[in-house]
Amino acid sequence: MNFFDNLTGYAVGYKWIMPFNSVAYKTIDGGITWSALSGTFPDVFYSIAVVSSETAYITGAATAELFKVDGINVTQFKDFSGNFSTLRKAHYSSNKLYVVGSPDASGTSANLSYSTNEGASWTRKLVGGSSDIMLIDVSFADANTGWVGGYNFLSSAMVIFKTTNGGETWTSQYSSSQTQQSFSVFALDVNNVFAAGGNGVCLISENGGAIWRETNLLSTYPSSIIAINKDVVWLSVPSSPTDASLAGIYRSVDGGRNWKQQISSYAAFCVDLEESPTRLFSASQFLRKWTPPQISSFSKNEIKQGTLETVTIHGTGFEEGSLNELPALAFSKIGISVESIDVVSSTEISATIG
């Protein structure tokens, strides 16, 4: 998620069913209602960086492609293959668009690129000087001072780097000795910086990263951290390897020294936190046991090819998520296609077919 102002924001992700289908939404009323965007979608959207109320840039997970939002339409904007193998995060700050991800070792490796002209040209950087370093998140306090981080492919250690010249050069500030494969960083200002990663590691610095204080939420995998001020900090925990009830949203009121679970979310993955000027948002991946729909009867025995017909179909499992499976299950006859499907209940749907 990312907001331009207190009313306009965007959210991207993907449907948690096979086959994966990416989704993108826009709100113009502060998150009360959301409208779906249209256009070119890969299997999975991973992050979005908002430039204006009408323009944003989206990274597609498992690809090196950057997509652009223009109003409500999404188009492929740039393919970074040969520099990146995947793009993980897009970030817009002080008229600069940044993308970070995993280097493409077979080409001209980069794990960070930035543009000062909204993508007309790009400057490539290999932060850390190694194609083994995958960058996952980036956050800037001002035009010059920012942090990136992620993990080392070989050691799986969490790493953090800092720039004081707008991304031109980067200095290593932290490298863990523990296995870390997730990462989030949030720069409140040039002094107060917060980071979190796998194995429940939470890092707090009050001096621009010169010293990092570590706290640990044991047996959790944090994915997003955001600070309202230097005392109030929020943390999303999508999952736990040992206890599902530890997943959820946590809050600290003492600058990250201690954490208290605010929402227990073992039924959903809380994967992202985002602040607008007036609200705090949480994005989740909802988990549920899902059974493919089963067809028991049609309202018509025969369907004429080339003619649109509205039929009532009875069965089980007609719920959100089942729609992608219905054409293959119910209409495998040659020449019959599905024009639209409306779910009436879990046992009944209305479909226009022909």
- pLDDT tens track for 242-284: 777 788 888 898 999 898 888 776 445 566 788 776 677 777 6
d(CA 126, CA 351): 52
Residues 37-63 have a mean pLDDT of 88
Q: Which CATH class is domain 2-286?
A: mainly beta
Residue 285 has pLDDT above 50, yes or no: yes
**Residues 71-121 pLDDT 10s:** 999 999 999 988 998 899 999 999 999 999 999 877 678 999 999 998 999
Q: What is the DSSP letter of 127?
A: G
Cβ contact 101:90 at 8 Å: no
Whether 238 contacts 269, CB under 8 Å: yes
Q: Left, alpha or beta for 22 (phi > 0: left; psi -120 to 50: alpha)?
A: beta
Mean pLDDT of 44-49: 90
**Pick from 131, 104, 88, 92: nearest CA to 272:** 88
Can you read off the two tokens belonging to residue 229? 């001020």
Instruction: Kindly state the average pLDDT of the residues 126-137.
Output: 92
The candidate with the shortest Cα–Cα distance to 206, out of 223, 222, 189, is 189
- Structure confidence by residue, pLDDT tens digits, 107-127: 678 999 999 998 999 999 999
Residues 6+ apart with CB under 8 A from 79: 64, 65, 66
**Facing residues of 309 across strands?**
353
DSSP states of 183-246: EEEEESSSS-EEEEEGGGEEEEESSTTSS-EEEE-TT-B--EEEESSSS-EEEEE-B-SS-GGG
Give the mean pLDDT of the chain. Answer: 82
Helices (H), the chain: 326-330
Rg (CA), the chain: 23
**How is the beta sheet containing 294-298 ordered, strand by strand?**
294-298, 309-316, 348-353, 338-345
| 3 — pLDDT class (breaks 50, 70, 90) | very high
CATH 2.130.10.10 positions along the chain are 2-286
Token duo for residue 211 = 């010293």
In the 8-state DSSP scheme, what is residue 259? -
Cβ pair 89, 133 in contact under 8 A? no
Within a 10 A sphere around the Cβ of 147, how many other Cβ atoms? 25
What's the pTM value of the predicted model, to 2 decimals?
0.76
